[in-house]
């Protein structure tokens, strides 16, 4: 369960960064954009239900 909570936190931060960039409230930054995309993908991976992987 802790892994899923961490995953949703990472996804939330990544989406928040995307919203800030879309609203032009944050300066463009390649490194942060790259980390947000990678973090979003990793966060989704962490939120997968472990019982569904066994099937």
3-state secondary structure 1-45: CHHHHHHHHHHHHHHHHHHHHHCCCCCCCHHHHHHHHHHHHHHHH
- Burial class of residue 53 in the structure, from the number of CB atoms within 10 Å of its CB (0-12 exposed, 13-18 middle, 19+ buried): exposed
C-beta of residue 45 within 8 angstroms of C-beta of residue 5: no
User: Do the domain assignments include residue 32?
Assistant: yes
User: Do the domain assignments include residue 29?
Assistant: yes
User: Do the domain assignments include residue 36?
Assistant: yes
Residue 54: band (very low, low, confident or very high) from pLDDT cuts 50, 70, 90 = low
pLDDT of residue 48: 86
User: Do the domain assignments include residue 55?
Assistant: no
User: Do the domain assignments include residue 12?
Assistant: yes
User: Do the domain assignments include residue 6?
Assistant: yes
Domain count within the chain: 1
Region 31-53: what's the mean pLDDT? 87
Residue 40 has pLDDT above 90, yes or no: yes
C-beta of residue 17 within 8 angstroms of C-beta of residue 32: yes
Region 16-35: what's the mean pLDDT? 92
User: Do the domain assignments include residue 38?
Assistant: yes
Q: What is the residue range of 6's domain?
A: 2-50
């Amino acid at each position: 369960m802790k892994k899923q909570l961490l995953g949703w936190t990472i996804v939330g931060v990544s989406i928040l960064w995307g919203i800030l960039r879309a609203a032009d409230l944050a300066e463009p930054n390649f490194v942060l954009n790259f980390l947000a995309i990678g973090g979003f993908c990793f966060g989704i991976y962490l939120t997968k239900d472990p019982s569904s992987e066994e099937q």
